[in-house]
Structure 1
Amino acid sequence: MVRMILALVVIALSGYSLIAQTLELMPYYMFFLGALILVIGLAELQKDRKVWGYMNIVISLFVFFFYIPYFL
């Protein structure tokens, strides 16, 4: 359920940015994308797919690490 909500938020923000041709919402888009990838990684770990789970978690931490300065 959380994965579906995050996916809809990411699609809505990216669609709006694409239609409006603006990059003002990019930090929020990247935050929700990182959260979505983190949730997917945790779900993969629960399914006992450790390689994909850890890879998704590392990618989400990478996204969070580089987009945190845009929020501050």
Structure 2
Amino acid sequence: MLKILRYVLSPVVLIIAVYGLITKNFDFQSIMILLLGLLMLVMGLEEFRKEKKTLGWLLIAVFIFSLFVSIQGLLMN
């Protein structure tokens, strides 16, 4: 399940990033950061399953930080 979620989130984040770079329209940047944070959460949970707790905690910390940044970005617009 986590692998499928990772395979779905990765191209979505990539498409939004490429769209922003090509069109110079950064309206979806906060959503992209939120989805990227969710991708980090999924990767962190996968690392916990592999018994790599240090990397898992680091990825979850990145998720929390990106969640905070994306919420601030959405509220500022």
TM-score by length of 1: 0.94
Displacement of 1:34? 0.4
Runs of 4+, deviation exceeding 6 Å: none
1:43 to 20, 43, 46: 46
Give the alignment of 1:1-72 within 5 angstroms. Answer: 1-72=4-75
Percent identity over the alignment is 32
Distance 2:70 2:31 in 1: 9
Distance 1:59 1:68 in 2: 14
CA contact (8 A) 2:31 2:70 kept: no
Uncovered stretches (5+) of structure 1, i.e. residues with no partner: none
Displacement of 1:22? 1.4
How many residues align? The count is: 72
TM-score by length of 2: 0.88
Aligned CA-pair RMSD: 0.9
Instruction: Map Cα deviations across residues 22-44 of structure 1 (whole Å, 9 max, x no partner).
Output: 11110110010000001000000
Instruction: Map Cα deviations across residues 7-59 of structure 1 (whole Å, 9 max, x no partner).
Output: 01100100100110111110110010000001000000010000000000001
Uncovered stretches (5+) of structure 2, i.e. residues with no partner: none
